[in-house]
Each structure stands twice: as C-alpha cells, then as structure tokens.
Amino acid sequence: MSRSTGSVGVVIVAAGQGTRLGAAQPKAFVRLAGSTLLEHAVTRALGAADTAHVVVVAPASHLVEAGALVSAHPRSGDVTVVGGGAERTASVAAGLAALRDDVDVVLVHDAARCLAPASLFDRLVEAVREGADAVVPGLPVADTIKVVDATGAVVGTPDRSTLRAVQTPQAFRRSVLVAAHASGADATDDAGLVERVGGRVLVIDGDDLAFKVTTAADLERADRILGP
C-alpha cells in the first residue's frame, strides 16, 4: 500500500427530499440554529485540515439556492454545486464526476449528518494517507440485532461485538471509489459498493455528533446540541 499525497475532496450529498422529516423544503435546506443543514455540513467539511475542494450535490430544484448559500462562505471558491439524482448512489456519482482532477482522496458525506466535526474528517483522511483504500466511521450498537425472514421469523442473532453502525463521512482512495461506482453494484452506502467489488474497508471509531438527521426528533437533538 502506497501513501497518498494528493488533494482531499469532499462530496456532500444533499439532493434527498427528506420525506421522513416532513419539512416544506428538502432536508438540507431546513434551518438549524440560524443556518441550513447544508451550511453546517459545508462549514465543517471546509474546517478539516486538508480539504481542498467540496462538491455539493443539490436537488435540481434548489441549485440556485444552494449556490447562494455556498457563496456566503469565505472559501466559496473551493466549492462546486451540481445537481443530484433520484437515488443517493446517483447523487454521489454526480459529485464524484465534478471533483477537481488533482483530488486523490475523496470523502463522501451526507448533508443530513450536518454536525459531523472536522476532527472526524481529519482522522479519516489520515487513515487513507496511511495506506487504506476505504475507511468509514462506525459506532458499536447498543441493541441486540436479529436477522429475520420475510415472515418476521428470526433466522439469526449476530454477535453484537462484531457489529458497527456506520456513519459518514466515508473516505476513499479516489480510484477505488470510482471503480466501485463504475461496477453498477447497488448498496446503501459507498463502502458497500467497494465491498461488492471485493475491496477492503476499514472501520474506525465514529463520532456521536455524526448522527443522521432523519426525523423531527433528530432535528430537535441537533438543535439542543447547538444550544441557545
């Protein structure tokens, strides 16, 4: 494994509708302590030590609004806004295609995990720089997990100590992620695509702040964390 020395790019996917949140606008454009989820995510991504380029993937209906939000950031020149797809995987692919040529370490991040701190980005980049192809943050699970069949009957109880609840950002050597996306495989996260093509994925300690805003209760949790 060789050390990576090129630039770091971050793809922030923000093109989902946020159906489960039920807001009047797409989730990334909902406000939290005065800023949108998207702005919180962009600020933290650009706050990471090595971030050179950020690609924001926005809904086609909100490209102008996303551009206006990004333009307020002092480093707006390092941010590109593109349109997303119908599925998260298609949105990530659109973001990947817009990364600068000199980027060789890519982090894929959900705008919905808007409080993931810059320090988490830094730890992931370091792990790729040390030679890993794909590195994701994960937390131990608190519940016992059952595997069930279509009837609801339990078919297994995995050893909980081997399980991790995986977050974003997820970090990759660019060539590895591009190849995984080109394979046409399907997965609920980018690490899953790499796994499908036989790649090795490393899990490092996640961060409680990287939780996903999915429901109104999650938004309230984020609001409480940011305080008055």
Note the residues at the interface with ligand CTP (CB under 6 A): 13-20, 27-28, 57, 84-88, 91, 110-112, 212, 214
Q: Is 189 an interacting residue with respect to ligand LQXTBERG (CB under 6 A)? A: yes
> In whole angstroms, how close is the CB of 75 to ligand LQXTBERG at the nearest point?
25
Tokens (6 digits) for 167: 């977050």
Query: What span, in angstroms and rounded, lies between the C-alpha atoms of 215 and 42?
Result: 21
The strand pairing partners of 140, in sequence order, are 164
Q: Tell me whether residue 28 or residue 66 sits nearer to ligand CTP (CB atom).
A: 28
> In whole angstroms, what is the distance from residue 166 CA to residue 108 CA?
13
Are 26 and 37 in contact, with CB atoms under 8 Å apart? no
Task: Answer yes or no whether residue 89 interacts with ligand LQXTBERG by CB under 6 A.
Answer: no
Report CA torsion sign: 211, 213, 216, 220.
Answer: positive
Query: Which does residue 188 touch among ligand CTP, ligand LQXTBERG, none (CB within 5 to 8 A, set by kind)?
Result: ligand LQXTBERG
Q: In the bound complex, which residue of the shown chain has the CB atom lying closest to ligand CTP?
A: 16
The burial of 127, by beta-carbon neighbours within 10 Å (0-12 exposed, 13-18 middle, 19 or more buried), is given as middle
Is the separation of the CB atoms in 38 and 137 below 8 Å? no
Distance CA(117)–CA(160), nearest Å, equals: 27
Does position 110 interact with ligand LQXTBERG (CB under 6 A)? The reply is yes
| Per CB under 6 A, 188 contacts ligand LQXTBERG | yes
Q: Tell me: does residue 109 bind ligand LQXTBERG (CB under 6 A).
A: no
Examine residue 215 and tell whether it contacts ligand LQXTBERG (CB under 6 A).
no
Q: Which does 24 bind (CB under 5 to 8 A by kind): ligand CTP, ligand LQXTBERG, none?
A: none
